[in-house]
A = this chain, B = another copy of it.
Amino acid sequence: MYLTQSLHRNVQQTPGLPATIFGNRVFTWAESGERVARIASGLKDLGIGKGDRVGILSLNSDRYHEVLLATWWLGGVVNPVNVRWSAAEIAYSLEDCDTSVLFVDDSFLALVEPITAAAPCVKTLVHCGDGEAPQGVLAYDSLLDHGSVEDAHAGGDDLAGIFYTGGTTGFPKGVMLSHTNMVVSALGSCATGDFVKPGGSLLHAAPMFHLADLAAWNGRNLLGGTHVIIPSFTPAGVIEAITKHGCTDALLVPTMIQMLVDSPDIKEADLSSFDQIVYGASPISEGLLERVTRVLPHVRLTQAYGMTELSPVATMLGPDEHTDPVLRTSCGRAAPHSELKIVDVDGVEVPRGQVGEITVTGAHVMLGYWNKPAETEAAVIDGWMRTGDGGRMDENGYVFIVDRIKDMIVSGGENVYSAEVENAVTTHPAVASCAVIGVPSAEYGESVHAVVVLQPGTALTLEELREHVKERIAGYKAPRSLEVVEALPLSGAGKVLKRELRKQHWDDTDRAVN
């Protein structure tokens, strides 16, 4: 399996169909295939060959599509940069895997100086934005002047990409994915019939650097059709793209779906072409599902759960399963390319209904973490990826995620899932946001501790909070201590950094996980 195979097939089967639509720029598959072979030639002249890393620091564009494919055409390795990271984090990831060519668009030109100062591995910058290339940065079109090269046909277990993750859980780690990893996840997801459909038009509004959108992109390549690309998510941009180009499907996260259906513009728009949303990151809430059903009644919802290390899809919950009020709180069942079990700390499968760690195996499990053999060994045991997610499985294989394992609290011998407590705490009218962690307790081992940001002009006592929570969940789960703060520490991606909160209560040696 190789990631350029679908490009060859689309050039052969639908040469005149638009491959990419970005603003007013349209390239057919025939043009896309020819451009990729020429950009590859340009990259080759910049020294890129088999196994060499090419970084991309850019909002979404048709050039993202071209750079990915041109890199693979040479047998190179892509390093799609998380655009929400700081210059220091980006420089770390580039330097960590020795990325020598970096594409950058206009939105991130200001970061170029600090990045290149801290990442001397970057030898060449290429502009992939729309304006003039600034000094010291190669113009994108200059790559097209180098003739063209043949596809090197890298594939199988060859390294295809290094995807840096980690924001909330420590230092960034480079997840190494092979061609087979990425193709298998997309093929298996498509096989359910609930991912992208053959010949449609896929909207890219979620960031293309993230494997969630790239998985959908890869599915669209495998089944043929068109990519409609907008730089980043805005409700108006999504509505305009669907209306103008008749998009059929998109990968979105629940927050984006919520902003879309709550947008005042949606009422007047004709979105009848749009019939499938694949979402990830979390289950969809009852309230949001009800709004989607009302505002976009013809749209089918599919949830995909996974992680970068799983290329990324492990489970799927199809449209029909969304009609069941219990099942739709799950993340579905193992996808056709995947196998999943829930295990205890020793890796032994637990009985159905019991909470343990979700582990996954299949040809979509990453090759490992770049230059981190110890972390790889801890994460992938006998071919099974330890996801770090706590969950339980019902009698029909549906998986319900309860918490990150490291966020689970063991208090008085009982498991307490911080996510469940947080859900109860945030329903209190005085609470704006909160995080629940375990803190040391002589009596209970760990005890439940709530860190809360209050709504302006409100107050909250521990007793009030405990009363409120105990009306909703078992008493032993109610916080035994309360800390009111101005703001919670957040990662670049907006996730709460619980390790920062824990630091104040634990020595490093007290708690192995962070």
Contact = CB atoms under 8 A, between A and B. Distances in A.
Nearest to A153: B383
Interface string A384-409: 00000000010111000000000000
Given A8-B339, A223-B336, A198 B192 contact: yes
A420 B16 CA distance: 32
A334 B192 contact: no
Contact of A187 (B8, B15, B336, B396): B336
Nearest to A395: B15
A333 B9 CA distance: 9
Contacts of A14: 396-397
A223 B14 CA distance: 28
A383 to B, nearest CB: 7
A363 B180 contact: yes
Given A180-B363, A363-B156, A5 B339 contact: yes
A300 interface: no
A369 B363 CA distance: 25
Nearest to A224: B336
A193 interface: yes
Interface string A142-185: 00000000000101100000000000000000000000100010
Contacts of A395: 15
Interface string A454-496: 0000000000000000000000000000000000000000000
Interface residues of A, number: 38
B15 A336 contact: no
B337 A187 contact: yes
Nearest to A336: B222
A191 B184 contact: no
A338 B13 CA distance: 13
Contacts of A15: 395-396
Contacts of A222: 191, 336
Contacts of A5: 339, 362
A112 interface: no
B198 A6 contact: no
Assembly stoichiometry (copies): 2
B397 A13 contact: yes
A342 to B, nearest CB: 10
Contacts of A192: 198, 223
A180 B188 CA distance: 13
Contacts of A242: none
Interface string A203-244: 000000000000000000011000000000000000000000
A217 to B, nearest CB: 14
Contact of A191 (B9, B156, B191, B393): B191
A12 interface: yes
A213 to B, nearest CB: 19
B191 A13 contact: no
A262 to B, nearest CB: 33
A30 to B, nearest CB: 11
Contacts of A334: 9, 12-13
Interface in A1-60: 1, 5-6, 8-9, 12-15
A363 B13 contact: no
Contacts of A252: none
Nearest to A340: B12
Contacts of A397: 9, 12-14
A363 B1 contact: yes
A198 B193 contact: yes
Given A1-B362, A13-B334, A190-B336, 5 more contacts: A12-B340, A13-B397, A155-B363, A156-B363, A193-B193
8 contacts: A5-B362, A9-B339, A12-B333, A12-B334, A12-B393, A12-B397, A13-B333, A180-B363
